[in-house]
Structure 1
């Protein structure tokens, strides 16, 4: 059993969308020496309220092979990183770790392309920092706050579009979103939805 922090069931969220704004400090501002007054001006603005709940945690040790990404959305992989002892030493080490991650994923999923767009350094300990320099690849943060997913149905595709190189899009993503026409798929028990595709000479098949 563990105590996890969940988004509170607050009335404000019926009219106000929860948000967490990751703000960068101005150039030249030393985040290690920032004063309380300055931190208030550049703090991570948010409207999040959390409540802690005790929940049971399943122990999957010894049965890791029962969990597969296709069914569970996650999978336990055994991998010894060559960079694990060097991550906090340089930005080059961070980049090497990201490339190592890409190679591991390409091998695991037999993929032609993988891209690790971000790596975060975290320590499971209290932090007294008032502000973080998010442009610093060696920035060490505390534990993530609140039970969450990293992407939504909307933000996931937007992130892929943002980070995927143009040459990859031109090679593999040849169906224009404007050529996708939503259509209802009606069955006796429910109404589903699919996309039909209009022809476009730029498509590759």
Structure 2
């Protein structure tokens, strides 16, 4: 079955419920190995609102990172197994991602500061280790954006030296946080990624949410459902077709400044399709305006 022959499908996506007017949504990640009694400790107050959403194909669509907040590119990694075999994601892959970002954006400075491998399989609370980049995490839940505009300034300053802050945090430069997401199986059928067109999102539907870790606090956006949202996916995404999408852009205007995203159950996946395995990166990209 060719991907181009499947222009759109229906899928269920979890959105955050419209109930958080008086309390802030959160979820808590205990330390690895911590004995947590979930009957006594509330790990999350989030309530999900599952909605059926139409997903349009990215293939042959007139989409761009600048306009819509996401795209896919042709790029074969030299440091991934492509067959799902157990492997560590090395600094070589980080550096390869940095070279890809530098070339794509003609960037003056890049640093790939985070990478995560995910598999569509359960991970217990006790086994989860947020401090271990080699930990194979389960797929994320709920449509979301990885960072909020309110927390980006502190976040960026932690990634730059004092000298770099003086140079790059000035009106002459544009700061982006850019994600890549790719399958490490030949074809991604199980739990592919869905992304939402930036210009179809009402900012009022972005709900700041706390991710509470043992040693730090991270704020992200979860997305409320809105029928005006327009969602896309990449049918039969190959391992050499990484998705690239924006988590933050300092430039305001007609450009996309973030990309809401989430994986979904693919009704077109073969019954014996292997569980999704993917690797994602987050990179700070600095370009001169």
Conserved in 2, the CA contact under 8 Å of 1:23 and 1:43?
A: no
Do the aligned residues in 2 keep the contact of 1:88 with 1:138 (CA within 8 Å)?
no
Q: What is aligned with 1:75?
A: 71
5 Å-filtered alignment, 1:86-165, equals: 88-90=86-88, 93-125=89-121, 127-131=122-126, 132-165=128-161
Local SS of the residue matching 1:154: helix
CA contact (8 A) 1:94 1:137 kept: no
What does residue 44 of structure 2 align with? 46
Runs of 4+ in 1 over 4 A off after TM superposition: 41-44
Q: Gaps spanning 5+ residues in structure 2: where?
A: 1-9, 172-251, 253-289
Change (3 A) 1:128 1:72: closer
**Structure in which a larger fraction of residues adopt strand:** 2
1:167 aligns with 2:131: no
Corresponding position of 2:60:
62
Q: 2:22 maps to which residue? A: 15
User: What is the TM-score when the length of structure 1 is the normalising length?
Assistant: 0.68
Task: State whether residues 123 and 141 of structure 1, in contact with CA within 8 Å, keep that contact through their aligned partners in structure 2.
Answer: yes
SS at match of 1:45: coil
Structure with the largest fraction of helix = 1
Mapped to 2, the partners of 1:56 and 1:147 lie a distance apart of: 14
CA RMSD, Structure 1 to Structure 2 (Å) = 2.7
Measure the CA separation in 1 of the matches of 2:95 and 2:37. 37
Contact 2:123 2:137 in 1 (8 A): no
Shift of residue 174 of structure 1?
A: 5.3
Q: Deviations over 1:87-141 (max 9, x none)?
A: 9533xx432211111110000000011111111111123x052330112121111
